Amino acid sequence: MKHIAYGVILIVFATILLPTVIVIGLAPARSVVSHGSTVRLINSGGLKDIKTNVEEAPADYNTINVFVVDEDKNVKMNLEDYLVGVVAAEMPADFELEALKAQAVAARTYALSKELSLGGKGCNLHPGSDICTDSKHCQAWISDDVMKSRWGDKYNLYHDKIVKAVNDTKGLVIVYNDALIDPVYHAISGGETEDAINVWKENFPYLKSVPSPGEEVAQKFKTTVTVSSEEFVNRIKSKTPKANISTKNVLGYIKNVKRTEAGHVLSLNIGGVDFTGTDIQDLFQLNSTNFSFSMKGSNVVINVIGYGHGVGMSQYGANAMAEDGKNFEDILKHYYTGVEIMKIDNLLKLKNGKA
Ligand SMILES: [Zn+2]
């Protein structure tokens, strides 16, 4: 879920290909982890295969072709109706309304970027579909039936709330430099969001590190993973047998831990072998790369802060801002540096030189 726009290219093409909209480079893979029963978030997707696409906007972009994985077929949906299913899948419905609105605008921005940039081929796993419901690939979505079974007697309350979040932000998208942004988000940053360059080695001017207070209330703000010293050594050696490490004083083999300013581990050396923070996250199934080690008896305890890659909007941080009286625009402008919130129609008019 990556796309980024370059203003210069935009200006050039905006004058040549009309009507056009540019959204750039949709990374194909969003690694997604589940958080609790409802939160889905982007974990550590890459920025491979970034493409620049300039194509005409479809005549009716309010209808989106969604490949529904559970039904194994493409379903035409009204864009705003589709977004209700996305917000329901991507954020806990008991979150504040303004946080849900921020999520709705992020989801709309992502959906339209897929729809407008690739002319009906937005989902490269499912040709002919703009987007799919595979949370590991495009964007999570749940049907009304799933909402009913998930929410039980709270269905009406939650459904109405999410419909309101979508309706109240109808047509609004997040724009940087006159192009749709890649609105990445995660559950819990750990107190400070991460600069995209530290995670994906690509610079996104709107994905910079910002403070994210108020997340501590999240149940998974801090988590631990405990393994025996033997298991720790085995897993490290399963990644690279060259690691010179033994169960005796196992933490003594860990050296040179390098962290980002936000606290995520960039790299570390274990038994003479360099690992990335992501290597260790994958090896021990950690919720984030913000981790440290301690011993409890002969067990290794890995203490983890946050949940997800930490880039872009923090969902729990968004909820904390909403509880603090901030609205969805405040939230989006806080987490996405230098962006504007505008109607998609106005963005298209801008591209068409009519604004
Ligand atoms: Zn897809």
CA of 76 to the centre of ligand 1 (A): 15
In sequence order, the 6+-apart residues with CB closer than 8 A to the CB of 127 are 121
CA of 275 to the centre of ligand 1 (A): 31
pLDDT above 90 covers what percent of the chain? 72
> What is the predicted pLDDT for the residue at 128?
85
CA of 61 to the centre of ligand 1 (A): 18
Residue 8 has pLDDT above 80, yes or no: no
CA of 325 to the centre of ligand 1 (A): 35
Residue 295 has pLDDT above 50, yes or no: yes
> What is the predicted pLDDT for the residue at 350?
82
Residue 51 has pLDDT above 70, yes or no: no
Q: Residue 76: name the closest of 61, 64, 62 by CA.
A: 64
**Strands 39-42, 32-35: pairing kind:** antiparallel
> What is the predicted pLDDT for the residue at 351?
76
CA of 350 to the centre of ligand 1 (A): 28
Residues 298-337 pLDDT 10s: 999 999 999 999 999 999 999 999 999 999 999 999 999 9
Residue 2 has pLDDT above 50, yes or no: no
Query: 210 with 195: CB under 8 angstroms?
Result: no
CA of 165 to the centre of ligand 1 (A): 24
For 235, the 3-state DSSP assignment is helix
Q: What is the mean pLDDT of residues 334-343?
A: 97
Residue 28 has pLDDT above 80, yes or no: no
CA of 2 to the centre of ligand 1 (A): 13
> What is the predicted pLDDT for the residue at 249?
93
Query: 114 with 131: CB under 8 angstroms?
Result: yes
Is 23 or 239 the better-scoring residue by pLDDT?
239
The one-letter amino acid code at 303 reads N
CA atoms of 3 and 182, how far apart (whole Å): 5
Residues 243-265 pLDDT 10s: 999 999 999 999 999 999 999 99
**Strands 185-186, 313-314: pairing kind:** parallel
Q: What is the mean pLDDT of residues 189-197?
A: 96
CA of 301 to the centre of ligand 1 (A): 37
